[in-house]
Every structure is written in C-alpha cells, then in structure tokens.
C-alpha cells in the first residue's frame, strides 16, 4: 500500500514539474551576462571592494557583487531586461547607469572609472591633457 501512495505521488508531481519546466522554456527568455572593471579615475588603478548592484526597474529585485583585487566584477546570469547598474564605495562618488540592456545569450562588458569624493570630472580631464605626452616621452626614453 505504501508503494501505491509513492507511485501516486510521483504520478501527480511529475506532470507539474514537467509543465513548470515547459512553461519556463516557452517564455523564450534566457539569461545574459554582465561583467567589467572598476578603476580609480585619478590613479587609473583597479578598485577592489566596490559594491556593484544590478537593479531591475519597477521591481524589488536586485543582485549585488563586489569587485575583486583587480577591480573585476561578474554577475551570475541576469534576466533579459533593462537593468540599472549602481556602483558604490566609501570615499568615492556613487555612479548609477540606468538602461543597460541585458541581451539574450550575450555578454555585456561595462568598465567604469570611479571618482574620489571631492574630485570633479573636469579636474581629471585637465590632468589627463597635461600629462597626455608623458607616455610618449617615457616610450622615447626607453629606446
């Protein structure tokens, strides 16, 4: 009699599991990938420990990852939908990138330069223009 109950239970559960899988597969939506690097905008060095959040607008769904010692982050597969990607780290200005479209079976690479608090974007542009010849000079000196 116990075997009959087990068989009956399996008989009832199998179609529900199969139909649930079929419904998910029929949606036509698979997952995409999002990864990239975060660097300091002034020093151009990688930033570890940045909290990177992928937020699905209009919902309470989000995922968070941290950058590693190389400033690299990678999300597990995300649903195919536009997401807002947010970057936060103490001592740095937060960044919010809305409308990043996660595409079907595609990998999106997003590299970000993070500004320290109290530094303007114009300040870093001026420094870059002042030092733009430095790599060229260093290259010439090494020959």
**What is the average pLDDT across 74-79?**
92
**What is the average pLDDT across 110-128?**
75
d(CA 54, CA 84): 6
Could you state, in order of their start, the residue ranges of all structural domains in the chain? 27-115
Q: Count the Cβ atoms, other than its own, within 10 Å of residue 94.
A: 12
- Minimum mean pLDDT among 40-49, 51-60, 88-97: which range? 51-60
Which DSSP state fits 77? P
pLDDT, position 139: 36
Residue indicated by tokens 């010692």: 69
For the cut 50, the answer to whether the pLDDT of residue 25 exceeds it is no
- Highest mean pLDDT, choosing among 1-5, 10-14, 57-61, 88-92: 88-92
pLDDT class for 22, splitting at 50, 70, 90?
very low
Q: Count the Cβ atoms, other than its own, within 10 Å of residue 15.
A: 10
What's the CATH architecture for 27-115? Sandwich (2.60)
Average pLDDT, the chain: 76
**What is the average pLDDT across 20-24?**
44
pLDDT, position 69: 97
The string of pLDDT tens digits covering residues 78-105 is 999 999 999 999 999 999 999 999 998 8
d(CA 70, CA 105): 26
pLDDT class for 57, splitting at 50, 70, 90?
confident
């Amino acid at each position: 009699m116990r075997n009959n109950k087990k068989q009956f239970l399996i008989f009832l559960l199998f179609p529900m599991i199969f139909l649930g899988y079929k419904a998910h597969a029929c949606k036509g939506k698979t997952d995409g990938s999002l990864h990239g690097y975060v660097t300091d905008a002034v020093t151009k060095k990688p930033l570890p420990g940045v909290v990177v959040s992928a937020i699905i607008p209009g919902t309470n769904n989000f995922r968070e990852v941290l950058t590693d010692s190389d400033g690299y982050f990678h999300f597990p597969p995300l649903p195919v939908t536009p997401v807002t990607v947010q970057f936060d780290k103490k001592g740095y200005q937060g960044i919010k990138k809305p409308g990043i479209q996660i595409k079907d079976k595609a990998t999106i690479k997003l590299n970000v330069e993070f500004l320290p608090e109290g530094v303007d974007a114009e300040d870093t542009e001026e420094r870059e223009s002042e030092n733009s010849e430095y790599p060229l000079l260093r290259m010439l000196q090494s020959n």
